[in-house]
Amino acid sequence: ETGVTQSPTHLIKTRGQQVTLRCSSQSGHNTVSWYQQALGQGPQFIFQYYREEENGRGNFPPRFSGLQFPNYSSELNVNALELDDSALYLCASSATGQGLGNEQFFGPGTRLTVL
Amino acid sequence: AQRVTQPEKLLSVFKGAPVELKCNYSYSGSPELFWYVQYSRQRLQLLLRHISRESIKGFTADLNKGETSFHLKKPFAQEEDSAMYYCALRPRGYQKVTFGIGTKLQVIP
């Protein structure tokens, strides 16, 4: 059984650019949640995907968007990057609707720096 | 709106001393409460949740709806407990999980 993986590990972008972050969910999991963790803060919920549909969203603007694929992997896209988007982006997968308690398993994160 | 407050950014205790990591929440409905832990150079992972009523690694947490608290306790701290601890809340039936700012626990040998 493989755990949650994320790519890339880190990247540097400039203001106004666009970025795509990737997440592969743990085997058997059908739900992916994305979080933004700024330095010294707790993770903040961006959104969740279940069966390829957005299934809940936090207080993030529309320039944060996502996708989930049939194999349950997911992408987070951020357009028009701003300096405040610099953060660690965490992906978490879980098994919704399978009586397994919806425990989230987190990936190692992608460190995004916006200059 | 839901909010989770962890009043201490850093808590230092001696090995063998009791530990209490505080967590207060604000939510008008029925919440699910969790504690997550992140050890050095490891991923964030679930420690325990209130509905399980378990003791994990000697830690327990009781949901006090009257005081809207979910404090994490351990009677005797071990050096390997040193980590970052996050309290989190999820409204029942909803997906948004709100995390607190985290408390760094430092167990002094």
Q: Given an 8 Å threshold on Cβ–Cβ distance, is B43 in contact with A58?
A: no
Task: With cut-offs at 50, 70 and 90, classify the pLDDT of residue B95.
Answer: confident
Indicate the SS3 state at residue A7: strand
Percent of chain B at pLDDT > 90 equals 77
Flag whether pLDDT at A101 surpasses 60: no
Distance from CA of B44 to the nearest CA of A (A): 6
In chain A, residues with a C-beta closer than 8 Å to the C-beta of B97 are 33, 43, 45, 104
Residues in chain B within 8 Å Cβ distance of A40: 101
B67 Cα to chain A: minimum distance (Å):
22
Give the confidence band of A99 by pLDDT, cuts at 50, 70, 90: very low
Give contacts of B96 with chain A, Cβ < 8 Å.
Answer: 45, 48, 56-58
CA distance A46 to A36: 7
Cβ contact A3:A65 at 8 Å: no
- Strands (DSSP E) along chain A, which ranges? 5-7, 10-13, 19-24, 31-37, 44-50, 53-57, 64-68, 74-78, 87-94, 105-106, 110-114
Alpha carbon of A13: minimum distance to chain B alpha carbons (Å): 24
